[in-house]
Amino acid sequence: MRMNPAVAALVALSPVLLAWSPVQQTHANPAPSAVKSSALTSSALAFSTGAWSQYHRDNFHQANDQTISTTASVSVGWTSPALSDPVYTEPLVWNGLVYVGTMNNNVYALNQFDGSIQWTVNLGAPQSDGWGCGNINPTGILGTPIIDPASSRIYFVAFLHSALAYYLVGLDLATGATKLKTKILPAGFDWRIEQERGALALGSGYVYVPFGGRAGDCGNYHGYVVAVPTSGSTAIKSWHTPDPGSGIWAPGGIVLDNAGRVIATTGNGVSNGCNSVDYNDAFISFPSDLSDATPPYWMPSDWQNNWCFNDEDLGSASPVLINNNLAF
C-alpha cells in the first residue's frame, strides 16, 4: 500500500488527532519499546515534503500518492493535544503542517512530525439550535477544507451563530490570519434545512461548496452547488436541484476534471416521494461557472425502485475520476 504521512492520520469523532508513521518496506519494524521515539524521526526523514491539499489528495479524489515509497506497515507516530471539539474533516497537510477544523469552528495547524499545535483560530461561535432536524450539534466546520498553495490559503466553510449563515473563510497557511470571508446565501436557501457536509473543491477562480439536507430530511430542501470567488467578490454563483430533495451531501463532495468541469452526485428526492425524474440519484456534470441551468446528468434506470424507494442514495458516495473521461 502507499501512504502519505499526512493522510495516515486517523480521525475519530473525538477531539484528538492520531498520526500513523509508515515503516518503509526496506526497513525492519522497530522494537515495541522504541516505536514512539523512532517513529517521529523516521517520519520526518521520509516525508519532509509530503503534501495532501484536499480530500483524497487530488481533484480526481483518487487518494493515491505515487511519489511515496511502498509501505510495509504502520505504527503510531504521535497523538495531538486535546482539541476543542469533534473533528469531522479529513486532515490536510502542506509544508510540514497538518490542518483540521472542529465543530466548534476552531481551526488548528499542527506540526506534521510531533503533533504540537503551531497556531489555532476560532472563526466564531457555531450554531446549536434552530435546525428543522439533524443529529450534529453544534454545527461549525463539518466539510473537509481545501488548500490553495498558490495563494497560501486554506479555505473552510463554517456556520456562524452570529449571522445565522454559512461563510467561506480563507486563512493564511502560515499564521491563520483571515484573508477572505464571504457569506454563502444563494437564492431560496434555508439554513434550517440545509447542511454543508461535502468536501470543498478549488478551480477556475472559485471554491465549490456542496449542500444537502439534514438527517431526517426535513422541509423542502434542495441539493446545491455554490461557486464562491477566491478574488473576494461576493458575486457567488449557484445551482440547485429543480425538485425538493436530491441533496449533495456525501463527505467526498465535489470533484473536478482537467477541463475544470464540476462533478457531483445526488441522493434521492425524499421530499416529494420518489416522483422526481430529473437529477434524482444522479451523476451531474457542470461547467466551471455553473451557468448551465440544465446540466447533463446520468441516472440508473432502476433509480426509482432500487435506489429511491429503498433510500439507497447513489449520492451517498461522491464520484472518483479514473481519468478525464471516466468516472466511478
Q: Which of 205, 103, 107 is nearest to 154 (CA)?
A: 107
Degrees (nearest 5) of the Cα angle 266, 267, 270? 130
pLDDT at 271: 56
Helix spans in the chain (H): 35-46, 303
Query: What is the rounded CA–CA span in Å between residue 65 and residue 284?
Result: 27
- For cell 519494524, name the residue: 29
325 burial class (0-12, 13-18, 19+ CB within 10 angstroms)?
Answer: exposed
pLDDT at 13: 66
pLDDT at 32: 32
Q: Which residues of the chain have pLDDT under 50?
A: 1-12, 26-48
Provide φ and ψ at 45, rounded to 5°. -70, -40
Determine contact, residues 176/123, Cβ cutoff 8 Å: no
CATH number for domain 1-122, candidates 3.40.640.10, 3.40.50.1260, 2.40.10.480, 2.30.30.240: 2.40.10.480
317: cell is 458516495
Helix H or strand E encompassing 319: none
Please tell me what DSSP assigns to residue 316: G
What are the boundaries of each domain within the chain? 1-122, 124-328
Give the length of the chain: 328
Architecture field, domain 124-328: Beta Barrel (2.40)
Distant-in-sequence, close-in-space partners of 297: CB < 8 Å, separation ≥ 6: 278, 279, 282, 283, 284, 285
Query: What is the rounded CA–CA span in Å between residue 190 and residue 185?
Result: 9
Query: What is the rounded CA–CA span in Å between residue 138 and residue 86?
Result: 10
pLDDT at 69: 80
